[in-house]
Amino acid sequence: MDLKSLSNILFALVLFLYALSTIWYLAFVAFQKKFLAQIGAGQLWAGFLCHTLLIIIAYFRIGHIPAHNLQYILSLTVWALVTVYFIFQFKLSIRMLGSLITPIATLILGVAYFLPKPDIVIDKQFESLWVSAHVITSLLGNGAFALAACVGVFYLIQQKAIKNKSRGFFYARLPSLESLDQAGYTCIALGFPMLTIGIMTGCIYAQIRWGHYWKWDPKEVWSAMTWLFYAAILHGRMALGWRGRRLASLAIVGIYLVIFTFLGVNFLLKGHHGDFTNF
């Protein structure tokens, strides 16, 4: 079996395991049995390990980080999201997050799976450690912001339940508002330096390849706007005491900015980053 065939099998296996994990996590939400979340976490770990192996195989097949078409970049996005989820789960231990993260991961990877699979074309522009650092740290930062948005959704749901004095489906299943508020802030606080490193390494690579650190490319401009947005949130939290509903709402708004910067700019605006998400 060649590496291409192995990669195709692994891709399907990863998608299956993520989908299976989604079912277990949703069952946990419905029945509130701890063992269901534990099984879901086990399936997610199995999928994540296979996903990591898939990325390693792709790296050795093409000789650089697999980020040269939309299918690969979406796959890396899912990997980064699940990585961040595991990191934060050790600290936050909010099992309900799995019920949002796993469907999102399954959906994105499912889209990637059915995208065209073009022949690999070795592009010299990817053969740089700066590119690898830029892509990985940027995606990890985006993953942290996505997690913050998920926590923000839970915060607003829980706040509404408390305000309406409703002890319905989600009330007993979600942590306290204080725990959710702290979790959302932690996600943003740790995602921000990842985004910062991603932008800095991208600038260094631009200088090496194109002879300039900054050229007002659309992706550069929107990345800077995203950075400023989350910097403002952190400033508001530390200096002005922003928390609660305001922080949750901003985290949700922020993920739309992240998505547009990540994909929308490439498809709607012109710029050299378009080469990195070709079909």
Closest residue by Cα to residue 273 from 207, 228, 206, 180: 206
| In the block, residue with structure tokens 């709402």 | 249
What's the pLDDT score for residue 197? 96
What's the pLDDT score for residue 199? 93
What's the pLDDT score for residue 120? 56
Residue 198 · residue 205 · CB < 8 Å: no
What's the pLDDT score for residue 274? 56
What's the pLDDT score for residue 175? 80
What's the pLDDT score for residue 122? 57
Express as a percent the part of the chain with pLDDT over 90: 49
What's the pLDDT score for residue 47? 97
What's the pLDDT score for residue 66? 83
Q: How far apart are the C-alpha atoms of 254 and 259, rounded to whole Å?
A: 9
User: In the predicted model, is pLDDT for residue 277 greater than 60?
Assistant: no
Of 59-68, 76-85, 209-218, 258-267, the range with the lowest mean pLDDT is 209-218
- When pLDDT is cut at 50, 70 and 90, the band that residue 84 belongs to is very high
Q: Please write the tens of the pLDDT for every residue from 202-261.
A: 889 888 877 777 777 888 888 999 999 999 999 999 998 888 899 999 999 999 999 998
Q: Please write the tens of the pLDDT for every residue from 156-207.
A: 988 887 877 766 666 667 788 888 999 999 999 999 999 999 999 988 988 8
Q: Please write the tens of the pLDDT for every residue from 198-207.
A: 999 988 988 8
Q: Please write the tens of the pLDDT for every residue from 118-145.
A: 655 556 666 778 888 999 999 999 999 9
Q: What's at 245, amino acid-wise?
A: R
What's the pLDDT score for residue 209? 77
